[in-house]
Structure 1
């Protein structure tokens, strides 16, 4: 059965939404530049097939903290002995070009921050998986932005990170899902962030403390990972919190996060004036 290499979900010119295997121009690896795709029929996590039908005019949650050594150092925190896990609600998930909505509760205080991250998409049920076989359970990879509010994460969250990271739309990812058959070594990819066109993060996933296989193996111990589960794997150094002076996101800022072999997503920060402030 033929399967996809670069999975995207898109709106075609016929007005219908499809899953497809993106077609890229020769020499291009950025999935966001796809303008055509082979339509996929069936269950992308089960039985499916890549058809010969080509659609065009495309318009197109577990998280780890402190998983890059240099980021832990810039945060003045010790290197963790085990993965630092937190969760985002499904309502935090948004698309590769969606606005990042900032409700009134997150407009006050300091700390609206960006975090570029490699995102693992689980492809089949995984429980008690050994590290040696962990990559067999990966459907593919995407890039995401773990948007965070440091005051709510650190000062006001009672020791829990979820409140400062779980607002609606605060986990944009995409621009598609690149198959693990294409990305053989997820631990050697350039990853970075541009803020209003300026580079603010530039690193490599080789700086991850817990690589992809180790992360999946650890998180699956006694806990079932399901097809479609997302794992945001932490961010490298260069976040706004780690800068002197600190660099916080503002209303209207444009944030682009990118991952080698996958492409980039770009999202605008939009303060919601209709929601009350505390």
Structure 2
């Protein structure tokens, strides 16, 4: 099991992609320019006690790998399905999305007209 409290993935001031555990801080992500103890890879974060202090330049989606699909499950919260007036089935719908489709914090999410008008759900 991963041993972190609040994982962030970010670009440092030097352009490196880094990982950090900021779970000991408040609930909000650190401000841009904050100095953070960072690790070059997710595995380094889990296995090395010391990292390098760098400045946070840009927050990124916290995926350790961007070459694996994201597995999605729909209608897995009965109360939400009832609230949205959706019919429940014994087997929830499953689908995948490419990791590249995940937006970074603050990044726009582009949808075609059909999707945008078909009640997107958060």
Q: TM-score, normalised by structure 2?
A: 0.63
- How many residues matched? 107
Q: How does 1:1-278 map to 2 (within 5 A)?
A: 4-22=4-22, 25=25, 28-30=26-28, 32-33=29-30, 35-42=34-41, 44=43, 48-60=47-59, 61-102=70-111, 106-108=112-114, 110-115=117-122
The Cα shift of 1:45 comes to 8.1
CA 1:74 to 1:97, structure 2 compared with 1: closer, same or farther past 3 Å? same
Residue deviations 1:62-97 (CA, integer Å, cap 9, x gap) = 111112222221343343333331222333222122
Residue deviations 1:35-61 (CA, integer Å, cap 9, x gap) = 332122455289731424222244221
Residue deviations 1:217-251 (CA, integer Å, cap 9, x gap) = xxxxxxxxxxxxxxxxxxxxxxxxxxxxxxxxxxx
Give RMSD over aligned pairs. Answer: 3.1
CA 1:65 to 1:42, structure 2 compared with 1: closer, same or farther past 3 Å? closer
* Secondary structure of the corresponding residue to residue 33 of structure 1: coil
Gaps of 5+ in 1: 116-278
Q: Is the 8 A contact 1:4 1:50 kept in 2?
A: no
Q: Is the 8 A contact 1:41 1:51 kept in 2?
A: no
Structure with the larger strand share: 1
Q: Is the 8 A contact 1:39 1:50 kept in 2?
A: no
Name the structure 1 match of 2:63.
Answer: none
The Cα shift of 1:112 comes to 4.7
* Secondary structure of the corresponding residue to residue 72 of structure 1: helix
Write the distance in 2 (CA, Å) between the matches of 1:56 and 1:74. Answer: 43
Gaps of 5+ in 2: 60-69
The higher-RCO structure (CA 8 Å, 6+ apart) is 1
Write the distance in 2 (CA, Å) between the matches of 1:70 and 1:23. Answer: 30
